Structures are given as structure tokens and as C-alpha cells.
Chain A
Amino acid sequence: MKAWLKGTMAAAVGVWGLAAVAVQAEEMVRIGVAGPFSGAYAAFGEQQWRGAEAAIVDINRGGGILGKQILLIKGDDACEPKQAMAVANRLVDNDEVQAVVGHFCSSTTMPASEVYDEAGILVMTHGSTNPMVTERGLKTVLRMCGRDDQQGTVGAEFVVKRLGAKRVAVLHDKDTYGQGLADAMKAHLHTLGLTEVMYEGLTRGEKDFNALVTKIKAAKADAVYFGGLHSEAGPLVRQMREQGVDVPLVSGDGIVSEEFVTAAGGGRFVKNVYMTFGADPRKSPEGKALVARFREAGYEPEGYTLYAYAVVQSIAAAMQESGSYNGVELANWLKRHSVETVMGPKSWDAKGDLKVSDYVMYQWDENGKYAEVE
């Protein structure tokens, strides 16, 4: 190819590319939604996307942010740290987002939030509960959910005081979230004067935990605590029941999905399973209309759906009120103000954690539904 032709083409492509970016950047507020949209935890990604999408539709209908419409950009991290890094870099460099909703798994939020922090972009996670997410002193990281140390405390109190357990087996999935949760549980058990009879990790992606169940049985555990997600919790509880280990299984927000029932192989296996999760946002008066709208569209806004909605609301409120897209300014605004969300008013402390966290205990029944423990 002749040199002049090459040059002309490059220039043409360059100008065209620039123009496209400039027009879009001016017209729309770009918000990234990063989470597990594929992989074993895609159910949580779907909750996140449904929530965020509904929020965008509502805000855009109400005139957008500072007169601009919002555009959502999806980033699939499959709950894998290395993919999360790639997604984070893409959202920052190519998509030039102004804020990020996500990620979901703590193991992906932690590395990805460093990328956003460096680029000065606000990131608010709807579901990463590991304490280290906000403990690292990053300036632009906030969350819409509680922390595992709070969750573990509620879990431990419940196991000891309500269930009256004396011999507790603590299991986890060796992941940032799962082990963090199990550690928090263990620590609070110790403060309650109880030592666990077992503390072990299983392997994510496996389905056979029979050896571990036999060990639980031999240890005569009268309650099992599991830090991890539904795809391992399901087979675990089923194999417990099949080996005749009928003690309660207590877990955290990693199993708050109907898929837990599928993974366990049916409702009758999930009886006597408990989990900690924030007070059901579907019951809050602020979200009533929204929940009804979701149900009308044939979608049950379970788990983290409304959390994602509230995250978008908070980001939008911060941008609207502070008139800025700078991550640090947005984070500082949020840390000083309270936001009205579908889950009620929310406010944050200096670390970026919610000032009030509302973990309560839920119980699964034999129909595969969960309800708050009275």
C-alpha cells in the first residue's frame, strides 16, 4: 500500500473514532456494571443486572443525571480475579466509565477496585462483604451491603444462643469471601467461649464432599457453618442429609438464590438450613412499587436485585448533587450525605461501609423458600 494512502486512512479512522467517542461521552453518563454474568455464579450477575437496568430506566425517564441520559456498560468477570482485572481495565480505558456498580465476588472486587481507585473512578459494590474491601484505605470504594465480620457475628450468636450448639464444624471454600466469612464466624465463636471442632476448606467446582461429611459425622458436630456459595453448599447439604447428618447448616449471603435449592437437588434437602442476609429489602416500604413492577414483569427481585438498584440510585444522587464525575469527590459526598434508596435511607462512614447494617437470620423450608427467622 502506498504511504500516502496509509496515512490518509489512518487519519480518517482516527478522526472517525475520536468523533464517535466525543459525541457519546458528551451525551451520556457511562456507568459500568461488573459482575459474574457467566460462570457458576451467573445467577448473582443476573440479579445485579436486573436491578441496575431497572434503576437506569427509572432515572432516565426522570430526566437522567444533570440532564444527561445514563448508559450501562456490562463487564463480565465470571467471579474470577484475573478476568476482573481485564474487565476493570477495559471499563476504565476503552469504555471510559464514570462510575462502576460492582463487582459481586469479594475476590474480584478487591483487585478491580484498585484499578478504579487509581483512575479516580467511583466504585460501589452491591454484594462484596469481605472486610478488606473497605479496609485498604482506597478513596473511591464504597459498598451497599454489610461486612462479613458483622455477618459472622450474627451467625455465631445464632448458632450458640438460638440453636444451642456446642460442637460447631466450620467449613469454607478457600475463597476470599468464603474463608473470610468462616474466619469471622470462628473469631466470634471464640469470643463466645466456644472452640470449633473442625475448621476446613473444600474445593470449588467439585461435587463430592462425602469424605468431609463423614468427618463431620465422626466429629459429632451439632451444627455446621459454611462460608461459601450455593454451588458447593447445595451438594454439601445433600450429602450431609444422605449420610444421616441432620444437624442445622448455617451459611451467609452466598446461598441467597433459588439456585441453592437446585444445587441441593430439591427442597427437602434444604430444610434446617439457615443463612444471614440483610433484612429483606423487598419488604421495605420504599421499594414496594418497584417490587410489584418486577413481579408484574415475571421476575422475582430476590437476593441482590434491589441492592444493585440502590447502588445506581446512590451514584446518580451523588453525581446530581455534587455536579461532578470525579470519583474522590463523589465518594466524599456520599460519605457526608444520606441517600434515599429503594431499601430506605442509606449513609456511609469514612471507610465507605454502611453506617447501619441489618443482618438477620433466614431459614429455608422444605418447599425451597426462605423466610426470616422470627
Chain B
Amino acid sequence: MNSYVIGQQLVNGVVLGSIYGLIAVGYTMVYGIIGMINFAHGEIYMISAYLTAITLAVLTTWGVDSVFLALILTLISSIAFTALYGWTVERIAYRPLRRSTRLAPLISAIGMSLVLQNYVRLAQGSRNQGVPSLMEGNLRLVGENPEQFVQVTYVQLVIVLTALISMGILSWTIQKTALGRACRATQQDRVMAELLGVNTDRIISVVFVLGASMAAVAGVLVTVNYGSFDFHVGFVTGIKAFTAAVLGGIGSLPGAMLGGLILGLSESFFAGFVNSDYKDVFAFSILVLVLIFKPSGLLGRPAVEKV
């Protein structure tokens, strides 16, 4: 086995893992704060892919030809619209069920996922959609033999960097700002936070918006990387990202990133060196093992009885 193949699979895994991690953040934050799985989150990511294509098309007609500018504008517009979707979904499908059984919002989330998927299908058609590639070229680490190289495309670099930066901004927001403090307080004890003057309904909305923004970033990056998408892309990726969140410890932000990386790397290495037929079987077996031996996930804290 050659070192360059291992290096290349490492690159593949890290890129894939960054994307899973970005989407996993949305699952983990929502779970952390209201204890429900937002199964419509994968659809938010899919909507972001469509928004990317639409924004890029608009920018082209406006004659924007700087790739950097186009990327930044696309990120801004996609985050703005996707955040609006996140907020609306919470408002329509989850807030009215806030005081019902735990099962109701879960079912509502699955319903929302189907609604969004079919709404996009009807509005945009079920065909594959594509965007032109924005950035060409790559960095190559060439070994002794020019045939053997580890390659990182510029798009892949942008993906990993953007993922790191967005995660940084998010962690800073949660740890250092007043808004973040309110989020953490709500997560710890919603009733107590409310008694102390935190508008918890608003905080929950904010969490949905933040989660959706991360999914928006992932949607833009993936679309620019793979160049094509359809109304169905949210499903598989959503399930994988959800798995990453559980693997890392649902409720924990660094856990989501770690879970994403582990999932991405294990898929890449298993597909690359063993057999891609069974890569999902392998990835999900890891999940089962982790849950058996550490039910709260890798970085998750066991639930403490509040007194």
C-alpha cells in the first residue's frame, strides 16, 4: 500500500467529514436545546443547494466574474434565505407542539422533511440541477514518481477552511456572547432560564437559525464541489450527518465536528482499502459500537438529573 494513496484517502475523508460535521451541528444544537431531532434539517441543506444555483445564476447575469466575490455573495444570500427557512419551520411545525409529548414534534419533523422535499420537487422539478465549476486547479504533493501524488483541489481547501471558520464563529458565539449565554442557559434548564428573564422561545428560534446557517454553508460548499444536486440530496446526507451528531455525542458542538470527521474518514478508508459495498455497514457498525459502550456518544455528557 502506497503512502500517497493513504494521503489521498485522508484528504477525501477530511473533506467529506467537514461537510458532515457542518450539517451535524444543526442536529446537535437543536437536540441540545429542546431535546428533539429535527429530521427536516437535511432538507434545509438541500434547499441551500438550490439557493446556491439560483444565486450563482443571478450573479452571472449581473456580470460578477470574481470567484471570491461570487462565493461570498452566494454564502450570504444562501445563509439569509436558509435561516429564514429554519426559523419558519420551527415556527410552523415545532413551536405549537412545544408542550406536547416528545413524539409529536418528532413526527412533525419527519412530516416537515417530506413537505419541503416535495415542495422543492414541485417548484423546481425532479431533474438533476447543475452549476458550473467556479474554481479550477489543485495543489499536488508529488512523490518520487510523478504518477503518485496527493491532490487537494482548491474547492476542497475552501471547504475545509470555511468549515473551520464557521465552526469557530459558532463556538465563539455560543461561548462568549450574551446570546450564547442565553442559549446555554436555556439548554441547561429552560424553565429556570425563563424565570430569570430569558425569552426562551426566541432563543430556540435563534438556535434553529444558527443550525440552518451551518447547513446553508454546507449546501453552498457541496454544490460548488460536486456541481450537481437534486431535490433528494438532503436525505442521505441528512441521515449521515445525524449519525455523526450521535456518534460525537448529541448536544455537543465539538462532538458534532469530531463525529463528522470520524464518519467521513471511516467511510473513505473503508471504501478505499476494503470494499465500498459495505462502507455504510461499517460506518453504522461503528455507531452501534460507540452507543453500546458509551451511550452518550464520544464527547457527550451523560444526562444529569436536574435538582
Interface residues of A (CB under 8 A from B): 38-40, 42-43, 174, 200-203, 205-208, 210-212, 214-215, 217-218, 230-231, 234-235, 238-239, 242-244, 259, 262-266
| A210 partner, pick from B15, B129, B229, beta carbons under 8 A | B15
Q: Which residues of B contact A214 (CB under 8 A)?
A: 5, 8-9, 12, 272
Q: Which residue of A lies closest to B280 (CB)?
A: A203
B130 CB–A CB distance under 8 Å? yes
Q: How far is the CA of A259 from the CA of B127 in the complex (A)?
A: 7
Q: Which residues of A contact B8 (CB under 8 A)?
A: 214, 217, 243
| Contacts A205-B236, A235-B226; A218 near B5 (Cβ below 8 A) | yes
Distance in angstroms from A172 CB to nearest chain B CB is: 9
B199 CB–A CB distance under 8 Å? no
A244 touches B235 (CB 8 A): no
B60 CB–A CB distance under 8 Å? no
| Contacts A43-B127, A215-B272; A231 near B16 (Cβ below 8 A) | no
B128 touches A206 (CB 8 A): no
Q: Which residue of B lies closest to A266 (CB)?
A: B132
| A38 partner, pick from B126, B151, B280, beta carbons under 8 A | B126
Q: How far is the CA of A206 from the CA of B273 in the complex (A)?
A: 19
Instruction: List 20 A-B residue pairs with CB atoms under 8 Å apart, sorted by A's residue number.
Output: A39-B126, A40-B126, A42-B126, A208-B12, A211-B276, A214-B5, A214-B272, A215-B5, A231-B230, A235-B228, A238-B226, A238-B227, A243-B8, A262-B127, A262-B128, A264-B227, A264-B228, A265-B226, A265-B227, A266-B130
B132 touches A265 (CB 8 A): yes
Q: Which residue of B lies closest to A260 (CB)?
A: B128
| B128 partner, pick from A38, A208, A234, A244, beta carbons under 8 A | A234
Distance in angstroms from A171 CB to nearest chain B CB is: 9
Q: Which residues of B contact A218 (CB under 8 A)?
A: 2, 5, 272
Q: Which residue of B lies closest to A204 (CB)?
A: B236
Q: How far is the CA of A264 from the CA of B232 in the complex (A)?
A: 17
B43 CB–A CB distance under 8 Å? no
Q: How far is the CA of A230 from the CA of B228 in the complex (A)?
A: 11
Q: How far is the CA of A214 from the CA of B273 in the complex (A)?
A: 10
| Contacts A40-B230, A211-B9; A202 near B276 (Cβ below 8 A) | yes
A266 touches B13 (CB 8 A): no
Q: How far is the CA of A265 from the CA of B56 in the complex (A)?
A: 14
Q: Which of A208, A211, A217 has the most CB of B within 10 A?
A: A211
B48 CB–A CB distance under 8 Å? no
B12 touches A210 (CB 8 A): yes
Q: Which residues of B contact A208 (CB under 8 A)?
A: 12, 16, 226
Q: Which residue of A lies closest to B7 (CB)?
A: A214
Q: Which residues of A contact B269 (CB under 8 A)?
A: 211
| A205 partner, pick from B132, B151, B235, beta carbons under 8 A | B235
B102 CB–A CB distance under 8 Å? no
| A207 partner, pick from B12, B229, B273, beta carbons under 8 A | B229
Q: How far is the CA of A231 from the CA of B228 in the complex (A)?
A: 9
B275 CB–A CB distance under 8 Å? yes
| 18 extra interface residue pairs, beta carbon distance < 8 Å, beyond A205-B233, A217-B8, A238-B226 | A39-B126, A42-B127, A200-B276, A201-B276, A207-B233, A210-B268, A211-B12, A211-B279, A214-B9, A215-B5, A215-B273, A215-B276, A218-B5, A234-B228, A239-B226, A263-B128, A264-B227, A265-B130
Q: Which residues of B contact A215 (CB under 8 A)?
A: 5, 271-273, 276
Distance in angstroms from A105 CB to nearest chain B CB is: 15
B121 CB–A CB distance under 8 Å? yes
B276 touches A265 (CB 8 A): no
A265 touches B127 (CB 8 A): no
Q: Which residues of A contact B15 (CB under 8 A)?
A: 210
Q: Which residues of A contact B151 (CB under 8 A)?
A: 243-244
Distance in angstroms from B21 CB to nearest chain A CB is: 14
Q: Which residue of A lies closest to B13 (CB)?
A: A211
Distance in angstroms from B148 CB to nearest chain A CB is: 9
Q: Which residues of A contact B228 (CB under 8 A)?
A: 207, 234-235, 238, 262-265
Q: How far is the CA of A239 from the CA of B151 in the complex (A)?
A: 12
B51 CB–A CB distance under 8 Å? no
Q: How far is the CA of A200 from the CA of B16 in the complex (A)?
A: 20
B232 touches A210 (CB 8 A): no
B133 CB–A CB distance under 8 Å? yes
A39 touches B232 (CB 8 A): yes
Q: Which residue of B lies closest to A268 (CB)?
A: B133
Q: Which residues of A contact B2 (CB under 8 A)?
A: 218
B272 touches A206 (CB 8 A): no
B144 CB–A CB distance under 8 Å? no
A200 touches B277 (CB 8 A): yes
Q: Which residues of B contact A238 (CB under 8 A)?
A: 226-228
Q: How far is the CA of A367 from the CA of B183 in the complex (A)?
A: 52
Q: Which residues of B contact A206 (CB under 8 A)?
A: 236
A266 touches B227 (CB 8 A): yes
Q: Which residues of A contact B149 (CB under 8 A)?
A: 244
A266 touches B276 (CB 8 A): no
Q: How far is the CA of A215 from the CA of B279 in the complex (A)?
A: 13
| B276 partner, pick from A205, A212, A259, beta carbons under 8 A | A212
B185 CB–A CB distance under 8 Å? no
Q: How far is the CA of A242 from the CA of B139 in the complex (A)?
A: 12
Distance in angstroms from B44 CB to nearest chain A CB is: 17
B132 touches A38 (CB 8 A): no
Distance in angstroms from A18 CB to nearest chain B CB is: 35
B267 CB–A CB distance under 8 Å? yes
In chain B, positions 179-217 with a C-beta closer than 8 Å to chain A are none
B131 CB–A CB distance under 8 Å? yes
B277 touches A174 (CB 8 A): yes
B37 CB–A CB distance under 8 Å? no
Q: How far is the CA of A259 from the CA of B130 in the complex (A)?
A: 9
B153 CB–A CB distance under 8 Å? yes
B244 CB–A CB distance under 8 Å? no
Q: Which of A43, A214, A242, A259 has the most CB of B within 10 A?
A: A214
Q: How far is the CA of A262 from the CA of B130 in the complex (A)?
A: 5
B222 CB–A CB distance under 8 Å? yes
Q: Which residues of B contact A207 (CB under 8 A)?
A: 222, 226, 228-229, 233
